[in-house]
Amino acid sequence: MTRTHRSAEIPLVRRLKSTTRSFNVGEGKGYLTVACTEDGRPAAVTIFMAKQGSTMAGLMDGFSTTITQGLRHQVPLEVFVREYVSMRFEPAGMTNDPEIKQASSVLDYVGRRLALDFLPYETRVQFGVLTADERAAKELQDNVGDAAWADMIGMAMSAPTITNPRQG
């Protein structure tokens, strides 16, 4: 008899604390609910699109199930975020989330929102997922860094050269 390896499954808990937020991505409207374990890790994700019965609503139900099952089987959240961020399809466009001004799809929005809520800054930088404030601070830091570098080059070019004094 052959035994197949099964990854450790996190047992379902009867009650989890959850947060639900409404979102708009372009013309799409929906709700993102994330239920967390006692230590604050996401355990279940539900994406509900406002247009019941639509293809989009059905697809989001499938993605919700996939994310939740993955989290139950200890797939790191970073795996989902890496795949979903920058995924492009309609609806896309402006969002009503002040931390995520635009999204290239509903899954792009969900990936960014999950990253902002649950991943550390260093990991989010790798995925290019920053809040509006973090992005502004990073741009300011990068611009100051570039300006400082340009000034140092300018100073070096304008500095007098020292030559050996003539000996007579």
Yes or no: say if 140 and 129 are a contact pair by the CB < 8 Å rule.
no
Higher pLDDT, 73 or 145: 73
| pTM, to two decimals | 0.76
- Which tens digit of pLDDT belongs to each residue from 35-93? 999 989 999 999 999 876 678 889 999 999 999 999 999 999 999 999 999 999 999 99
Residue range 84-104: average pLDDT?
A: 94
Yes or no: say if 20 and 32 are a contact pair by the CB < 8 Å rule.
yes
Element housing 106 (H / E): helix 106-118
